[in-house]
Structure 1
């Protein structure tokens, strides 16, 4: 199959080409949300083959393979790495119009200088070639990151994590700076009292605080927030189907915590109230310490119960949810803003029907204290493809200020995913270049180039202020 990636891929006019090549292409990357394993960066892991760095944990590819009729043995099963790669190669040509087609081509070109489509005919040769290249120091975990000019990145970490690997990278000038992100979902996951009490014991150990009541829980979490901050962390993150909001305290939070400690099952409403109260208290802590808080909203996870039981979570059975979002989001943000305890906030939606809702909601809480304080986040998960990125750019442009946007992220578990920043930058430059070509924006290269540079790098650098 003939190569199709040219230097002007996705750039449809001369002005778009100028914006990309002169302003966006060579900028460093700040990847402020991903799921990379920090131990691989700290230990500068050398991958044995391309399957390990490309297919392990990648549920985007796994979903496509299942759709194509590939047996689970070759996806998450006990087939060899080479067999899994060869099966993936069977699928790739048939991913046309899916972002996997573009991502696969971009990644093979960026990391291995392979400018051809992966097919069953060339799969074995590419497997051997890439696996050999991956043995070189230039293609270690840090080498792969540096090839894409990654300046810093933020992983996603539980409050009880030791952060030893993050600390190691920040002390080693040869390692890409890896900052932790505080993801406290387990700290209010009271649906299962057995699991929750086990988690409390772990949190008590690392915080050195006996957690006997709800106030103790908050003290332990605040202690861990300070530990994360001392370890370079500047962000928190929360993943919800939808936020919960209660106008009034209809339950006593101390009593609910006592019930959970005694392994008594809470009602659905009690669970939601517990989550709401804890999130509000955490958000106040984030504001106090000067962090950015993130909310990822709208995913319905683990839809296929049979395969969840067989394969576990995060294996490719999540989807977009059609959930009501606006009212509770407004309530939570307003509750925090009413006492001037609303931290810098990034909100991500998964349902494209909610794009304008989210874009307008964040604008309600900008107060002039910080440029771009409230962010409508990057196209996320099922939306981080060409159509989704264009719609996010347009929604933000129409209803807010695109010029203040902190840019793209990978949200990935793969060290080969960073050409997604290139993908976004090309799409951004083409969107602005198209407006110039249509006479809707001035053909001022310096002016628009500065805005492009800000969105791709400088806004994030100033917003997060990593040290």
Structure 2
């Protein structure tokens, strides 16, 4: 029997172990998509205990910070909301999470949590009912007193080179400005442009958001699609001046319905007057905006990230009580391939197709995405069109291996830009290690099965590029 999370865990061949330890293990990290706070980085926040940094709590505005992955598991274990996201004692929350982990064999949260305990606290014993008090006391003392466990300390300890945060177009980016004004911190933090609220024309808060977007560009209102596009263009310029290298779009599904701007304007005016609109008119407006944004990204050398096949906030009662991003989302089945291909084809014909990364929450989409993207590759850069890393519910052992193998079999694995955390936790950088071990496992099996040459220079190049250098080139770092 192998020890729990030893030096070679998940590295099931000698080749895999060699590739990981010789090449992947010590490479820096480019975390190009996450949800951590630039304010906390600037202020170098110090968490007091594992409950705060793992499970979070409420922000002053009533929203939550924390990890909804963990909250979902704790609810499944039967713990009340008071213990999950409520006002229970921090140790009570931590103890509930420890008990939950004991019920979760096969869930990546078990490995992630123990990797974090090992890498940041030097704690190698499993988190159990018997050890949780000692682990709590030891980690709390380190979080409060160890200089390497402030937010910036954690980032440096993790060998981060680049962090791409997720920011609304109306954001003032004041914390990014303050970070940029400091002497070299050893890592780069840049905003990523996330205009979902401007595209979500059927959402109840859309009219209010239009006022906020208008105010951000010095206008009282935005009354046409062209004015909305121009406002977003101004904000992209503002983001670009603050180092923006990527945009992100969370789509329920991949829509594509080209229509004259007059149709889009009619839909916009109706919604602003409180009227309902047909789905096809909403899709026409969304298509016009997304197409215009893609063209702007192309001109500004900004990567376009597209996430889809997610159904959000499915528990109405809990959404009203707790708000979005609190763990009530699920995989959505969509029919998106034809629309995606048509969208890319029209952009490519006008030379307006930017570097693009496509993520789906449904792993049955992976092979369709890879073959679609293969129709639009370019000499501009290897892998201009990318199948994104295994995202969210796919960020498991099986999900990562499926993403890697689907890309390898139908695309070009060597041009892949690798992993991201998509996280709200500063300890989650061990997910890059998790991915790197699985990548080396996949390559090691090919070599030892005689399916790829045991040629060290080629293997080293593959590992180092996928883990670091491809992303550095892709995001122009």
TM-score by length of 1: 0.96
Q: What residue in structure 2 maps to residue 180 of structure 1?
A: 191
For 1:432 and 1:334, the matched residues in 2 are separated by 33
For 1:97 and 1:212, the matched residues in 2 are separated by 52
Gaps of 5+ in 1: none
Cα displacement string for residues 375-418 of structure 1 (whole angstroms, at most 9, x for unaligned residues): 01100000111110000000000001000000000000000100
Cα displacement string for residues 426-461 of structure 1 (whole angstroms, at most 9, x for unaligned residues): 110111011111111111122201110000000000
Q: What residue in structure 1 maps to residue 244 of structure 2?
A: 233
Q: Are residues 1:95 and 2:97 paired?
A: no
Q: Are residues 1:167 and 2:193 paired?
A: no
The CA RMSD measured in Å over matched residues stands at: 1.5
For 1:218 and 1:131, the matched residues in 2 are separated by 48
Contact 1:41–1:176, Cα closer than 8 Å, also in 2: no
Q: What residue in structure 2 maps to residue 146 of structure 1?
A: 156
Q: What residue in structure 1 maps to residue 253 of structure 2?
A: 242
Q: What residue in structure 1 maps to residue 412 of structure 2?
A: 401
Contact 2:223–2:268, Cα closer than 8 Å, also in 1: no
Residue 65 (structure 1) aligned to one of 63, 74, 81: 74
Q: What residue in structure 2 maps to residue 423 of structure 1?
A: 434
Contact 1:93–1:117, Cα closer than 8 Å, also in 2: no
For 2:454 and 2:244, the matched residues in 1 are separated by 40
Contact 2:309–2:360, Cα closer than 8 Å, also in 1: yes
Deviation at 1:268, TM superposition (A): 2.3
Greater CA drift, 231-240 or 439-448: 439-448
Q: What residue in structure 2 maps to residue 436 of structure 1?
A: 447
Contact 1:298–1:323, Cα closer than 8 Å, also in 2: yes
For 2:262 and 2:281, the matched residues in 1 are separated by 7
Contact 2:258–2:287, Cα closer than 8 Å, also in 1: no
Q: Are residues 1:112 and 2:125 paired?
A: no
Deviation at 1:362, TM superposition (A): 0.8
Q: What residue in structure 2 maps to residue 41 of structure 1?
A: 41
Q: What residue in structure 1 maps to residue 166 of structure 2?
A: 156
Cα displacement string for residues 17-66 of structure 1 (whole angstroms, at most 9, x for unaligned residues): 11111111110000000011111111110111111111122111111111
Q: What residue in structure 1 maps to residue 18 of structure 2?
A: 18
For 1:390 and 1:409, the matched residues in 2 are separated by 15
For 1:295 and 1:186, the matched residues in 2 are separated by 15
Cα displacement string for residues 214-259 of structure 1 (whole angstroms, at most 9, x for unaligned residues): 2221111101001111100011110011121125449622222222
Contact 1:243–1:329, Cα closer than 8 Å, also in 2: yes
Q: What residue in structure 2 maps to residue 220 of structure 1?
A: 231
Q: The residue matched to 1:134 in structure 2 has which SS?
A: helix
For 1:72 and 1:124, the matched residues in 2 are separated by 22
For 2:343 and 2:444, the matched residues in 1 are separated by 38
- Alignment of structure 1 residues 34-433 onto 2, 5 Å: 34-56=34-56, 57-135=66-144, 136-172=146-182, 173-174=184-185, 176-192=187-203, 195-210=205-220, 211-249=222-260, 252-433=263-444
Q: What residue in structure 1 maps to residue 471 of structure 2?
A: 460
Contact 2:261–2:288, Cα closer than 8 Å, also in 1: no
Count of paired positions = 464
Contact 1:41–1:175, Cα closer than 8 Å, also in 2: no
Greater CA drift, 26-35 or 244-253: 244-253
